Structure 1
Amino acid sequence: MQPNIQVIIELAKYKMPFGKYKDQYLVDIPEYYYTWFKQKGFPKGKLGNMMQQMYEIKVNGLEELMYTIRREY
């Protein structure tokens, strides 16, 4: 199964639209923020899906991949 590179690029470049971390890239937001949402429930829709994906990336230590993608695309 091939990942859709456009989805990954969008995830690497997406910024938080609200709250304490407004206008920060999702990858730059601390892992504890995603852990809290994991426990309480992620938002519905696209943002929630992206936050869930970023949670998995952070838990698995793959942030550097997101930084590389953001730099190169």
Structure 2
Amino acid sequence: MNTQDLERLVTLAMPFGKYKGRLIADLPGHYLNWFAREGFPPGEIGRLLALMQELDHNGLKPLLDPLRKRGNASGPKA
């Protein structure tokens, strides 16, 4: 895991499935747990889903909050 992986969680949208278009950081725990049971897809998306599942399972989602705020540093949208 590295900082870039954490940043990807708050910027990359789920590319397929029931939650297509939702940020990976915003996927519900039960969905992440389903992947953990059934198997994560190959490649970057699978690696990021596995990371997000670990963060969610261990109650560490608040660690992503500073990255979310940094991504919105340009100020409020008009």
Fold shared by both chains (TM-score > 0.5): yes
Offset of residue 68 of structure 1: 2.4
Q: Which has the higher helix share?
A: 1
TM-score by length of 2: 0.80
Cα separation, 1, equivalents of 2:23 and 2:61 = 11
Cα pair 2:5 2:48 within 8 Å, conserved: no
After superposition, the CA RMSD in angstroms is 1.4
Instruction: Name structure 1 gaps, 5 residues minimum.
Output: none
Between Structure 1 and Structure 2, how many residues are aligned?
A: 71
Instruction: Name structure 2 gaps, 5 residues minimum.
Output: 72-78
**Structure with bigger RCO (C-alpha 8 Å, 6+ apart):** 1
1:25 matched to which residue of 2? 23
Cα separation, 2, equivalents of 1:7 and 1:41 = 19
TM-score by length of 1: 0.85
Larger Rg: 2
Identity of aligned residues (%): 38
